[in-house]
Chain A
Amino acid sequence: MKDFLYQQLQQQTRREFLQGSGRLLSSAFLASAAPAALLAGEHKLDFSRPMSQPLAPLPPQYPSKVKRVIYMHMAGAPSQLELFDYKPELAKYDGKLCPDAFLEGKRFAFISGRPSLLGPQYSFKQHGDSGAWISDRLPHLHKHADELCFIKSMHTDQFNHAPAQILAHTGHALSGHPSIGAWTTYGLGSMNQNLPGYMVLVSGSRDPDGGKQLWGSGFLPSAYQGVRCRSQGDPILYLSNPENVSRSMRRLVLDGLKQMNQQQYQTEGDPETLTRIAQYEMAYRMQLEASDAFAIEQESAKTLAAYGAQPGQPSFANNCLLARRLAEKDVRFIQLFDYGWDSHGSNKNEALDHGFVDKCRQIDQPISALLDDLKARGLFEDTLVIWGESLAAHRCRKTEGV
């Protein structure tokens, strides 16, 4: 294998490094062709890498502590005012009409006339040495209070779910830009070539409003898009062999394929052929490694209980456990989406006193278990865990629905 890679690199270095803008940023600063002036200066970021190995790892620009990211996005935007952002003053105004000062000169969708205000509906207490305010909806998380950093200064100029989610994930409210995970794998590559570098797990009744572009690659090559893992059928699309094809039979096909592609390379000399051979081998390994990563039934009963995970029953808890398993396998960017947080009360599931309570229950224990588990396995040190949303709740009750 080493020889093979060497041969491949030999063939590719110059050619691939010089690939045109079709390979986009791949050739940004090139050892072989860059003008001397460019090299005379300080160390620059170097994203050059052949598009035939789009996920080859790259060194970070600065020494970094974090190797991988687990990003949990709550689609629909849970009310921060019921979880982490305690507003004792607002409680005094509960049920009262919104003061004019907040409404003057403004127009809000779904609101006309003068709406009334809603105070915190759940009780808050301070936790940990930091004294962080956390509501009683997340009891398991209380003990982690001192490990959390609360960022309460986020702003958005979008007030609809889809554009707000797209903004939160791509930096632009409009379509067409790469997602944060795509940028990450583009900039740093993947640490495990036998698994996708950017994997996406979705729970809740459906995908987030922003759809696939939340993990899309925008104008970057498609290889950087997140691979949405599935809770039914293959965890990764087309991962399993067809029904009547055993692994050993597939091996025979791949062996033949490899030989014939090698022959093709001998006569044509196109380095892409060698890359293709490598990709097929990688796919073969991925079949095992990904299947293994998704086999949560391998976990002990104790671990499953800690998360509240149930093999075969898709849930946010299962996804938290999967996140840990993928983190163990050095997947660079693991993203969890959980749908169903739009608690504006137009039906029971979306009511602050019903659906919201259930949603909190669904995430509280698993997140807490994930943090514990990462710590126990020494992964907490170099894994950044993010919990976030895309909009902030306001406290005016909607006044119109039809």
Chain B
Amino acid sequence: MQPLRFILLPFICALMQACQPATSNKEKPEISFNRDIRPILTEHCTGCHGGVSKQAGVSFVYQKEAYGRGHSGRLTIKPGDPAGSELIARIETQDENLRMPYNAPPLAKEKIAKLRQWIREGAKWETHWAFKAPQKPPLPLAVAQQLNPIDQFVQQRLKSNAFSISPRADKYRQLRRLSLDLTGLPPSLDEIRQFIHDNSDDAYEKQVDRLLASEQFGERWAAMWLDLARYADSQGYTRDEYRASWPYRDWVIKAFNQNMPYNDFITKQLAGDLLDDKSVDDLIATSFHRQTPINSEGGTDDEEFRVIAVMDRVATSWRAINGITMECVQCHSHPYDPIEHDEYYKSYAFFNTSLDADYRSDAPHLMLPKETQLRQTAFELQMKMQTIRDTTINTTHQLSKQTGDWLKLAIVSASHDQKTALEDLIAKTEQQIKNLDPQKQKPRLNHAKYALKRYQQTLQSLLENQYKPEKLHIKNDELHHTDDFAQKTQISLDSEKVPPDQVIGAITAIKLTALPVNAQKAIHTPEFAVSIDDIEIYKHHANGTLEKLQIKDYFTLHGEALDEQLKRLAKNANIDAAGGLFSHRLFAPLSTVAVLHTPLRLKPDDNLKIVLKQYQLRNLNEGMPSELQRFKVEITADEIWHHYADSEERTNLIAEYQTLSQKLADISSIALPVMLEQDPYNQRGTALFSRGNFLAKQGPLLKPHTPALLPPMPVQSKANRLTLAKWFFRDDQPLTARVAVNHFWQQLFGRGLVDTIGDFGSAGELPSHPKLLDWLAVTFQQDYQWDIKKLLKLMVMSETYRQTSASHAEQANLDPQNRLLSRANTRRLSAEMVRDQALFVSGLLTQKLAGEPVMPPQPQGIWGRKGRIIRDWQEAQGENRYRRAIYTFIKRAYIYPSFLTFDMETREISHGKRIQTNTPLQALVTLNDPVYVEASEALGKLIAQDYVSSNQLDEALKNAFLRVTSQPPTSQALTQLKQTFANIQSESDQQTAFNQISALLLNLDAALTR
């Protein structure tokens, strides 16, 4: 999005100028820094003298710098003394080499005058308005007056411009607007009639309450949120495979329908996984930040795309919740707002410790049964499994700490042997091929056969080249080999012969650790994957014989390796199969403790031989080879490992884990990507990216923290996403409520009070009604306790909302954009509404809540690249053909074409606002897309039925017009409609004419707008 910011600036300023008559006070013009001065600085100066570029040491972003001295040695701004301020000297000089703005026309006289006046009056600096907590302004009118507060503020502003709010729109139009705005659907004929005939005082309010309570309410408002949440049913990038995101979409719909308070709504989405007594729904909510695309194309660097996803989460959170363009601070300090470069990375740190890492599988998942009534059961199973997992890793770390005397066993020689590895793999694969069912497991079988062929080929070429095992380097008694070596291989390590004086008694456990080559750097810039599929340990007798040691148990100290181990254990009780070391990216030491079946006494001249099978059977890495580079071995004689491995607790936990995972596997579930945190023992560190480059980090490790320009976050030992979520809802948080109120306002009025929805910073637009914005924000936050429906009701009950959209020449001339709200804005229906209305008025719409995404008719060949999980668009039959737009399958690369034509966002990044266009391609959609053809035929039948029962053509046509546009036709319109009907009928037949009249109605301007 960024380039836009710079292009937009001149225009924003123009806009402010246009607003001037409204804000300036004719009697005594008082200079306000925020209103009058900052916009001048932002437009003309900050580009070169700002947070990024501080030409000549001058910057206007921070007060201290602006009042300081630049390279000239003179004070840039000297309060009270315009003549002594270098700023004034430089904008007034006639010398083009010195004059600012450099290489640009001189500043307008009025602007110079303002700057002079401001400095003369003491150059009072103000914090940007949006970074100060809103104070609830007093209502402009006396309390006794019953006028909706919104109208009071709007009217006050209009009065100063000699306007007033327009009269109400007629009842038909009020209901249409209200119904489409609150539910995304027009009113039905019955609803219209009921409202028109209801002459009670609260007739309108009754409609408001009815619509707010309807189930369609959630579907309509979810459409707004899903743009912000960049929701899609696919993963993005090249492969763009199916992703089962839809339970999250349903969660959003449900949250709106249940009127979940806005603070809970956000908190659950940001940190539902970290809540103490989290429910299955809380976990589903966290899928919000798992809507980021993943790149599973072979050869991509998962760390690169993990970082991109984290950055997206940072940008989305700040923009959607706080209207701050935090992404500007990725590479340097913020150009316009006082946010320092490192503060971006403190925000980044909140999101940098989640478990997901651009895995092709989209892990981690919540397994969610398709049958909703089983969800709780499955959730409980998973929570229990999680507890066992956490207990296991906690115990392992405790034991490791208690083991005082880990003795490092020097590795004296190391080599790797591709040939043995391949022979082993070939034997295993041949066995696998035998075991696979050629019918049921065809893809796996084919893959195995293909793999076998490749192994055989590689082995063949090794043999032809007289292959010999190759030596690996040793350093500091460890394997330390940073040169390339082959991927699928067996690594053998020989330990020293234990000298008699170091014999520590019977060895009970051996700790095997893969180490980052550069541990300090790896914590923030992880090294490549480690993928050891199996481990074998031998006693190497002095006489040369090898004795394979029996392993009783493996205890791994690393979360990812533990997960793999548990997965294996769940399938197979054999602990021997549970060895292995996996890390998708190595950012910290990766250890596993092998507990020996029988304590081992090494005689002098005996040593250990450790064989690591680096077969890379798990595709950890999108084709990037993993190579074990650094590895050490430690031993202990401490008996605690033995005791724990033998304990009933351990045996029971594993058994229970197996039972639980079996139960879970028996429930047919979908895998919903969710947010989960890394274990506290192995967390990524965050350091500042030099110029935003994820490969070049600098400075110390940074802890999660919020920017200093906003209210301080309490210093805690462990700030996480939940801390951040709670911080967003502090009483003195200046932006959360304002930004939320603005989102809702935009949906109802067509434009935000702050038009730059995602930017409340200095480069954003000033609010058209600052007091109204603050009043609404404080009311929403404090009085309403974040009650969304209450807020929406207040808005739609206002006269401002209910007024007519018809404009008069005077209004159009003086306030062409209608910023002052002296009339309603006519708005085109959104992409979703265009579809939903056509299906609704033709009686086709399936009103069914929630569920898997559906595939309504779409021309063949739209998916230019087929999927593997869901191969192609499969046109729905039956009720799924006519579901509401929000349930339509969203493949990021190939969005449903008619939605795109009607300006739906593509869901690659978060969007707060759709830019509406008006193009001939839209006309082709509503005239010719089979969906609309089907709708016009269905509507044509309804008209025909009407005609048959009333025998009145006028009546049938009137009703049809009312159905589609929610208002009766004027007599002129009816005449025209009849004329067209007659014309078409004369060329065809009656039913065709009704169908064509339906098409005409669905394409009316009055049908496409509200």
Decide: A175 and B996 in contact? CB cutoff 8 A.
no
- Interface-lining segment among A58-66, A119-127, A218-226, A378-386: A218-226
Is B406 interfacial (CB 8 A cutoff)?
no
Contact with B along A198-242 (1 / 0, CB 8 A): 000010001111111100100111110101101011101111111
Cα of A282 to Cα of B17 in the assembled complex, Å? 36
Is B604 interfacial (CB 8 A cutoff)?
no
Decide: B14 and A260 in contact? CB cutoff 8 A.
no
- Tell whether A238 pairs with B929 under 8 Å between CB atoms, given A21-B8, A36-B108: yes
Decide: B624 and A280 in contact? CB cutoff 8 A.
no
Is A306 interfacial (CB 8 A cutoff)?
no
For A28, give the chain B residue with the smallest CB separation.
B11
Decide: A109 and B860 in contact? CB cutoff 8 A.
no
Question: A14 to chain B: which residues have CB within 8 Å?
Answer: 812-813, 816
Question: A223 to chain B: which residues have CB within 8 Å?
Answer: 917, 919
Decide: B980 and A38 in contact? CB cutoff 8 A.
no
Is B1005 interfacial (CB 8 A cutoff)?
yes
- Tell whether A283 pairs with B924 under 8 Å between CB atoms, given A213-B908, A225-B900, A256-B1000: yes
Q: Which of B297, B915, B927, B980 contacts A283 (CB 8 A)?
A: B927
Decide: A270 and B826 in contact? CB cutoff 8 A.
yes
Question: A131 to chain B: which residues have CB within 8 Å?
Answer: none
Decide: A51 and B236 in contact? CB cutoff 8 A.
no
Q: Which of B240, B906, B915 contacts A221 (CB 8 A)?
A: B915
Contact with A along B802-820 (1 / 0, CB 8 A): 0001111000110011010
Decide: B915 and A22 in contact? CB cutoff 8 A.
yes
Chain B: residues with Cβ within 8 Å of the partner, total of 115
Q: How far is the CB of A175 from chain B (nearest CB, A)?
A: 4
Decide: A240 and B928 in contact? CB cutoff 8 A.
yes
Q: How far is the CB of B44 from chain A (nearest CB, A)?
A: 9
Is B357 interfacial (CB 8 A cutoff)?
no
Decide: B864 and A237 in contact? CB cutoff 8 A.
no
Contact with A along B778-822 (1 / 0, CB 8 A): 000000000000000000000000000111100011001101000
Contact with A along B843-862 (1 / 0, CB 8 A): 00000000000000001110
Cα of A332 to Cα of B236 in the assembled complex, Å? 30
Question: B297 to chain A: which residues have CB within 8 Å?
Answer: 160-162, 209
Decide: A268 and B976 in contact? CB cutoff 8 A.
no
Question: A249 to chain B: which residues have CB within 8 Å?
Answer: 984, 987-988, 992, 996
Which residues of chain B from 569 to 592 have any CB-CB distance to chain A below 8 Å in the complex?
Answer: none
Is B107 interfacial (CB 8 A cutoff)?
yes
For B9, give the chain A residue with the smallest CB separation.
A28
- Interface-lining segment among B113-121, B479-487, B511-519: B479-487
Q: How far is the CB of A124 from chain B (nearest CB, A)?
A: 30
Which residues of chain A from 235 to 294 have any CB-CB distance to chain B below 8 Å in the complex?
Answer: 236-242, 244-246, 248-250, 252-253, 255-257, 259-261, 263-265, 267-270, 272-273, 275-277, 279-280, 282-283, 286-287
- Tell whether A256 pairs with B13 under 8 Å between CB atoms, given A103-B484, A263-B973: no
Question: B977 to chain A: which residues have CB within 8 Å?
Answer: 256, 260
Question: A18 to chain B: which residues have CB within 8 Å?
Answer: 15, 18, 816-817
Decide: B817 and A400 in contact? CB cutoff 8 A.
no
Which residues of chain B from 953 to 983 have any CB-CB distance to chain A below 8 Å in the complex?
Answer: 970, 972-973, 976-977, 979-980, 983
Q: Which of A113, A159, A174 contacts B486 (CB 8 A)?
A: A113
Question: B920 to chain A: which residues have CB within 8 Å?
Answer: 279-280, 282-283, 286
Is A79 interfacial (CB 8 A cutoff)?
no
Question: B918 to chain A: which residues have CB within 8 Å?
Answer: 51-52, 54, 272, 275-276, 279
Question: A140 to chain B: which residues have CB within 8 Å?
Answer: none
Cα of A179 to Cα of B865 in the assembled complex, Å? 19
Is A23 interfacial (CB 8 A cutoff)?
yes
Question: A282 to chain B: which residues have CB within 8 Å?
Answer: 920, 923
Is A88 interfacial (CB 8 A cutoff)?
no
Decide: A22 and B755 in contact? CB cutoff 8 A.
yes
- Interface-lining segment among B389-397, B448-456, B720-728: B448-456
Cα of A269 to Cα of B805 in the assembled complex, Å? 9
Cα of A400 to Cα of B920 in the assembled complex, Å? 51
Q: Which of A20, A24, A241, A269 contacts B807 (CB 8 A)?
A: A269
Which residues of chain B from 11 to 60 have any CB-CB distance to chain A below 8 Å in the complex?
Answer: 11-15, 17-18
Q: Which of A41, A222, A256, A269 contacts B979 (CB 8 A)?
A: A256
Decide: B906 and A109 in contact? CB cutoff 8 A.
no
Looking at A177, A244, A249, A252, the one whose CB has the most chain B CB atoms below 10 A away is A252
Decide: A280 and B923 in contact? CB cutoff 8 A.
yes
Cα of A287 to Cα of B859 in the assembled complex, Å? 17
Is A308 interfacial (CB 8 A cutoff)?
no
Is A376 interfacial (CB 8 A cutoff)?
no
For A14, give the chain B residue with the smallest CB separation.
B816
Is B894 interfacial (CB 8 A cutoff)?
yes
Contact with B along A97-110 (1 / 0, CB 8 A): 00000010001011
Cα of A25 to Cα of B7 in the assembled complex, Å? 7
Cα of A260 to Cα of B981 in the assembled complex, Å? 13
What are 20 A-B contacts defined by CB distance under 8 Å? Answer: A21-B15, A34-B14, A38-B14, A103-B484, A107-B625, A113-B484, A163-B295, A207-B893, A208-B864, A213-B906, A216-B906, A221-B915, A221-B916, A233-B861, A237-B929, A260-B973, A261-B1004, A270-B807, A283-B920, A402-B454
Minimum-distance CB pairs A-B, first 7: A207-B864, A109-B299, A256-B980, A211-B893, A41-B105, A162-B238, A37-B108
16 further interface pairs, Cβ-Cβ under 8 Å (given A24-B8, A223-B917, A242-B933) = A15-B812, A20-B817, A22-B916, A25-B7, A29-B10, A37-B111, A41-B105, A175-B237, A209-B865, A211-B864, A230-B859, A253-B984, A255-B980, A279-B923, A283-B921, A287-B924
